[in-house]
Amino acid sequence: MRSKAVVGNWKLNGSLAANEALIRALLREIPRENPVACAVCVPAPYLAQVRALLEGTGVAWGAQDLSRYVQGAYTGEVSGPMLVEFGCRYVIVGHSERRTLFGESDETVAEKYVAARDAGLTPIFCAGETLEQRERGETNAVLARQVDALLKRFGVAGLDRGIVAYEPVWAIGTGKTATSQQADEAHAFIRARIAAKDAGVASRLPILYGGSVKAANAAELFAMPNVDGGLVGGASLVADEFVAIWRAGMNAVRQQPK
């Protein structure tokens, strides 16, 4: 059985006071031991605070990006080993906002994935198409290009301890959500693309859905056979919403055939 996860991406949000209130609210509802991994990926300046609040709890933490470099004259960069020193388990690589707003290429994203794995982090590799690409019928071609760049750089075995997140760019922060069928079809395509290289890796690989995941749609999305949880944006900043999404993941696990 593939592992399940619900991961919050706070993006460029937070303050010391707001972070503490949010995390304490989450910890009142999310137990230490559970079958659905729960984590928050936070802005780098808050990693020390989040570590202090979450260490020893049922909620893990991670970063939203990392450098492809380990050290050197790269002002402003944050390396994988630095994130490890703050207890990070996860790091997001290739989020659509990094690709579109900051010009990260498929090759750069692949290098960051390698840097994350080399540091001992679990990378959450994001892939997805724009609205224009979907309307032109290019969804599968875009996903293939993004996944193939990673496979070319790192090989299929490198995905065996990673996570993929399908995030249709047109559904991120827009209030629009891919239908559960659209999401499952994209996840199935990604899984098949990887299975062509190694069926075992593909069968074990968690693929999360990211794109305006909310409490109202999480249960339907997570019930799909190829959807293994969610990468949650805005809703992860609201404790009740995020807990409800995590509970939808728990319910999906309970309903799986034994």
Residues 96, 222: Cα–Cα separation, whole Å:
22
Beta bridge partners of 90: 62, 122
Question: How do strand 4-9 and strand 207-209 relate by DSSP bridges?
Answer: unpaired
Catalytic annotation, pick one of 97, 111, 167, 241: 167
Characterize 104-113 residue by residue with b for buried, 16 or more Cβ atoms within 10 angstroms of its Cβ, and e for exposed.
Answer: bebebbbbbb
CB 117 within 8 A of CB 158: yes
Q: Name the token pair of 66.
A: 């990392």
Establish whether 107 is a catalytic residue: no
Q: Is 244 exposed, middle or buried (0-12, 13-18, 19+ CB in 10 A)?
A: middle
Catalytic annotation, pick one of 95, 104, 111, 241: 95
Q: Name the token pair of 192.
A: 């098949």
Residues 31, 73: Cα–Cα separation, whole Å:
42
CB 166 within 8 A of CB 186: yes
Question: How do strand 59-63 and strand 36-42 relate by DSSP bridges?
Answer: parallel
CB 111 within 8 A of CB 68: yes
Establish whether 187 is a catalytic residue: no
Return the active site residues: 95, 167
